[in-house]
Amino acid sequence: MTTLSAKIRTDRRIDLVHRRIYLTATLCLLVMLTLMAQVLHLQVVRHEHFTALSMDNQIKIVPVAPPRGRIFSSDKVLLADNRLSFSLELVPERVTDEPALLAQLSRFVAISAQDIERFRELRKRRRRFEGVPLKSHLDDEEVAVISANRHLLPGVDVVASSGRYYPLAQSLAHTVGYVGMIDAAEFEKLNKAIYRGTNHIGKAGIEKAYENLLHGSPGYEQVEVNAQGRVIRNIYRKPPEPSKDLYLTVDASLQLLAVQALNDRRGAIVALDNRSGAVLVAASTPGFDSNLFVGGIDSKVYAQLLRSKGTPLLNRTLQGTYPPGSTIKPMLALGGLQQGLRTPEATTWCPGWFSLKGSSRRYRCWKREGHGHLDAANAIFQSCDVYFYVLARDLGIDTLHDTLTDFGFGQPTGIDIGGERAGLIPSTRWKREALGQPWYPGETMSVGIGQGATLVTPMQLATATAVIANRGLQVRPYLLSEARDSVTGQSVIRAAAGPGREVVFAEPEYWDRIIHSMQEVVHGERGTARASGAGANYRFAGKTGTAQVISIAQGEEYDEDKVPEELQDHALFIAFAPVEAPEIALAVIVENGGGGSRTAAPIARELLDHYFHKKRRERHG
């Protein structure tokens, strides 16, 4: 009985063990089937998905920035070029300790607080796998030391790219302008797709005004990278769309001569093709090296430029405003003829001074003994102040204002790079609205000789001179002549002269009379600039101007030797040539240069000689 009971218990245990074995085997089989199903799902059903994810860990899409279009002068001198440049970049996703890495980098390369600030600003706008520039324009030594210590600098790359370079930076900085690093405000306005991979944008001048032509569309590269993120293979490359090369109206040889003639004095020269408005010269001195701005200008250097007595960052051709002095006398003489207040033969008596009725104040002529009886033509080429005091009184300030605005003063010329000041031609309305005061008759006397509140820019003065040369047609100045495809060289845009506006006068002969009087300024026996016209083998017309910086009290003499340089008179001169068929109109302003006939007129003659000599040389091969 005991043996039977033991046998039964043993059989039960064996059955239990068997059931457990079967259950375990079933569970294992189910697990194996599940795993096999999952493997089948991953390997077959989801194969393409995981292959793509795997490739994403190896393949990067790298934007390829388009090379920036070059800029040339009308005589095909290169003004803005692209040169191979090396920059130091950090890839954020490969940097584990940024402060430590920056400290390590500082041992090898000088990194300023400005560099770091700019890097952190750019980093916010880039994806973590994209390189962010830390320092641009590395020299050969810096490139070598970074490369030699590459193993100590995870996430750091030295990247070769195309950097902007200006061969004639000092002479054309204001006109050509410069590029600089894209800032936060600019980035928000940009088309992100077009500017991927681009760190620079036009900041001033032509570079800014024609950014849409100079910047092409980016391409991209598919590259295979290793675990450290270094490129080991190029898979595919879509080249960027080409930008445009720009050809300006500026004559480089004439521009360089203008800058040389100013000799680093504060001043400006503008020369136009009076027939079309094409700007031949736009010189503003002193200049500055625009290459300093490309990689991010050092704060100390920038502060020095801002504090400089010569204000080199000011584009005097468009933003410098000056009293025009006697250069506006031909325009006012035409206004007197147009209004019927004068005839060509009518004379005014100049005893050396003029007083308004009921006033004891004397408005003096530059010639103390006076000029005697003068008609309009004589008053212009002898630059008699009294004739124009009387004319200004008869015109009145508002008609005087309207006459000068007809010639383009007091308003932007509309030049294609913008950034110009309007200047000021005063009127009763202007003084009432700006100062809350009435206009006084004595103030009209000052405006009549280009003084007082009157302010013009050199560009306005040149375009007004072109109006006289054109006998009434006003043209809009422009700098871009042509845009060409940078790859094929084919012209894609040709600039056309802006629409002219007629300044109409009742008698066409008035233009001839005024032009003849301006010709006498330089070729006549009593002309104020006759020395500058001597020996010229072409005929030109001109007008001198001297603008006071400080006022002279009644009864006092102006002694140039006793006046500090910065308070001495500005020297001005306008001219156009040849008289019989004008091609070029110009304006010269030399700040604190003294008399226009002594300082500004000889510069104009030098430029005109060069212009016509070059034309003859080109014509005869």
Residue positions annotated with a catalytic role: 326
Residue 329 CA: distances (Å) to CA of 207, 214, 378, 442: 37, 43, 11, 18
- Going by the DSSP 8-state scheme, the letter that residue 342 receives in this structure is -
Q: What's 596's DSSP letter?
A: I
**CA 436 from chain center: how many Å?**
36
Q: Which two tokens stand for residue 313?
A: 């960052």
Supply the DSSP symbol for 67. Answer: P
Q: What is the DSSP string of 422-477?
A: --B---HHHHHHHHS----HHHHHHHHTT-TT-BB-HHHHHHHHHHHHTTSEE---
Three-class SS of residue 329? helix
Locus of tokens 């920035």? 65
Q: CB of 336 within 8 A of CB of 404?
A: no
Q: CB–CB of 467/409 below 8 Å?
A: no
Local structure of 300: helix, strand or coil: helix
Please give the radius of gyration of the chain, using alpha carbons only, rounded to the nearest integer: 37
Q: What burial letters (b/e) apply to 145-170, b meaning 16+ CB within 10 Å?
A: ebeeeeeebbbbbbeebebbbbebbb
User: Given its phi and psi angles, is residue 161 left (phi above 0), alpha (psi -120 to 50 degrees) or beta?
Assistant: beta
For residues 52 and 56, give the distance between their C-alpha atoms in angstroms, rounded to a whole number: 6
DSSP at 68: P
Dist. CA 283–CA 317, nearest whole Å = 7
Measured CA to CA, the distance from residue 476 to residue 378 in angstroms comes to: 31
Q: By CB neighbour count within 10 A (0-12 exposed, 13-18 middle, 19+ buried), where does 370 fall?
A: middle
Strand partners, 236: 222
Residues 196, 57: Cα–Cα separation, whole Å: 21
d(C-alpha 503, C-alpha 509), whole Å:
14
Whether the CB-CB separation of 343 and 396 falls below 8 Å is answered with no
Which residues make Cβ contacts (< 8 Å) with residue 405, sequence separation at least 6? 411, 425
Q: Are 484 and 504 in contact (CB under 8 A)?
A: no
3-state helix vs strand vs coil in the chain, percent to 5: 40, 20, 35
**Residue 437 corresponds to which tokens in the numbers above?**
């005061």
CA distance linking residue 165 with residue 84, whole number of Å? 10
